[in-house]
Structure 1
Amino acid sequence: MINMKLMQATSIAEKIVKDEKLEFPIDLALLAQRNNILLQPKPITTKGVSGMLLRCGEEFTIIFATDIKNEGFQRFSIAHEFGHYFLPSHPENVFRNGNIHESHAGFCSNNQIELEADHFAAGLLMPKHLFSREWGKFSDGLSAIKGLAKICNTSLIASAIRYTQLADVPVAIIVSKGTLVEYSFASRQMQQIKGYAHLKKGLTLPKTSLTYNFNKDLNNIEQSLQKSSETDLLNWFQAEHEITAKEEAIGLGSYDKTLTIITANLNKYFDDDEIDESWDDPGFK
């Protein structure tokens, strides 16, 4: 079922970008300055906390984690805190028990408030009206995601998720650790393939997949290596036909995880019989 509040959070962020006349890469320091918000980098020792929003009277400070040496992740963490500042009802929710709110950004929480802030962050850093101008400049799949991440100054994961939301491509992305799926996202075109079953958290990766074997060697992940091979959608998503696809895996370094991109080749299967128009968005798992 589509969560309208998540869509609204993204739309509010995109409107801010338009109103402020911001361009890629979105200048978060400028946005903070215009709203009298202090940005402060700081090592955060609490495990899993990506950032904090502090309130002192009418003044606000965003503290963002620096333990993960990834500027894209840090920018997403800041944008997430902007979500708690700008989104309706968020200030009263996050400051209900005090003037400090700790966040867990990155689509890793099932909490509605945190998910709304994540979607706000995606819309702020990668607004549709700017993002759509760029994705056609690259080949489908990992090439596009890496190119967009560079243009937007965002992490590979955030760029990959936004790519599945906006690009007109039959693509799915999977974040995994070891043999297990952490979460996955799929584009509308991929979701509509007949028989498609969404990969949920905790499922085992296909044992015949490139990614399953890629994850056996920790060096692949630590060194951010990448590999690709041919696969099929039956193997990954229980599609009704063995539709060929490209599987690309890249290690995420200090995240200790792997990002996999599955891009389907629908040229031979592009007819109405292979599309299921009744699909509902599986949500973020």
Structure 2
Amino acid sequence: MINNTPLSHIKELAEYIALKYNEKLTPVDKIAEDEGLKLFYDGYESGTFDGMTVYLNRKFYVHLNVDSGNKKDSTRGRFTLAHELGHYFIDAHRVGLQKGILVPHSSYTNKKQFDAIEREADYFASCLLMPESRFQSDVFRKKFSFDLIQYLSKQYNVSITACAFRFAEIGNHPIMIVYAENGFVKWKLESDDFPYKWLINDKKVPINTVMGEYFAKVNQGSVNKSEKVWAMDWFNYVKDSDINTSFNEHCIPYKNKALSIIWES
């Protein structure tokens, strides 16, 4: 059994490591090298795993699967390596690997704990790649738009999704992120101060939204650019006095999937 690590401790640890290296882009490969970790960028077939940390003969080995897009210095490869560094630096994870308690893949019996551990490693990666002090300095007094997310994602060499997650947590403007497949919402995440918490249809993407029109194959020319939407079209529990409140939505589609970032005008 591996005990959960408080997120505040993970944040403090990750950002201490990042800021120790006085570089805009956190040098994840160099961090691994300085810790004596053996890195392998190899092909392990797509759909198997992104990264895996193994403890063998008193040494740690990290395998990055290039067949799943985890190439060195790519946004995905950097996040995956940062995630694996989380397993190494977070005490409970490292001890779990050394004792054989933490295994690379979940089973039915340990899936809940496995998912919690993976979320901790993801949070470590986010804090390592986008330290709060640097990130907030980059957004200070900047007006929010999707262009800001694009700018930040390039500055930190992270994906749009990872950058939006970090912005929702520590940015200077409340946003909501919605991800859907085949017209159904798989998950959403919003800033603590975002004015709405519930979607109008819960799981089905509302039709009168940019994302909804994409899945309905209507007005697809508006996709991948910011468009005005109304609070009542996306959210539940909108007061009568707020029915004319407008938001901006930027939808990024990919085949049967789409991600929307929503913010108040």
TM-score band, normalised by shorter chain = 0.7 to 0.9
Q: What per-residue deviation string (whole Å, max 9, x for no partner) do you get for residues 140-190 of structure 1? A: 132111111100000111011001111121211112222111222111221
Structure 2 alignment gaps of length 5 or more? 107-112
Alignment partners' CA distance in 1, 2:29 and 2:199: 37
In structure 1, give the amino acid aligned to 2:149.
I
Give 2:51's aligned residue.
Answer: 51
Give 1:277's aligned residue.
Answer: none
Aligned to 1:246, which of 245, 248, 253? 248
Compute the displacement of 1:58 (Å).
2.8
Aligned to 1:232, which of 230, 237, 258? 230
Distance 1:252 1:128, change over 3 A: farther
Give 2:8's aligned residue.
Answer: 7
Distance 1:43 1:60, change over 3 A: same
Q: Report if aligned partners of 2:55, 2:97 keep a CA contact under 8 Å in 1.
A: no
Alignment partners' CA distance in 2, 1:93 and 1:43: 26
Higher RCO structure (Cα 8 Å, ≥6 apart): 1
Structure 1 alignment gaps of length 5 or more? 104-108, 266-285
Distance 1:21 1:176, change over 3 A: same
Q: Report if aligned partners of 2:50, 2:68 keep a CA contact under 8 Å in 1.
A: no
Give 1:86's aligned residue.
Answer: 89
* Equivalenced residues, count: 244
Q: State TM-score, norm by structure 1.
A: 0.76
Considering only aligned residues, what root-mean-square deviation do their CA atoms show, in Å? 2.8
Alignment partners' CA distance in 1, 2:77 and 2:177: 21
Q: Percent identity?
A: 25
Structural mapping, 1:51-200, within 5 Å: 51-69=51-69, 71-94=74-97, 96-97=99-100, 101-102=104-105, 111-136=115-140, 139-190=143-194, 193=195, 196-198=196-198
Give 1:210's aligned residue.
Answer: 210
Compute the displacement of 1:138 (Å).
5.4
Q: Report if aligned partners of 2:152, 2:163 keep a CA contact under 8 Å in 1.
A: yes
Q: Secondary structure at the match of 1:249?
A: strand
Alignment partners' CA distance in 2, 1:61 and 1:181: 37
Alignment partners' CA distance in 2, 1:184 and 1:22: 34
Compute the displacement of 1:4 (Å).
7.5
Alignment partners' CA distance in 1, 2:46 and 2:69: 16
Compute the displacement of 1:87 (Å).
0.5
Give 1:273's aligned residue.
Answer: none
Q: Secondary structure at the match of 1:24?
A: coil
Distance 1:137 1:178, change over 3 A: farther
In structure 2, give the amino acid aligned to 1:72.
T
Compute the displacement of 1:43 (Å).
2.3
Q: Secondary structure at the match of 1:189?
A: coil
Alignment partners' CA distance in 2, 1:14 and 1:175: 28
Distance 1:4 1:143, change over 3 A: farther
Alignment partners' CA distance in 2, 1:198 and 1:8: 30
Q: State TM-score, norm by structure 2.
A: 0.81
Distance 1:59 1:94, change over 3 A: closer
Give 1:274's aligned residue.
Answer: none
Alignment partners' CA distance in 2, 1:67 and 1:97: 27
Alignment partners' CA distance in 1, 2:11 and 2:191: 17
Give 2:109's aligned residue.
Answer: none
Farther off after superposition, 175-184 or 137-146: 137-146
Q: Secondary structure at the match of 1:26?
A: coil
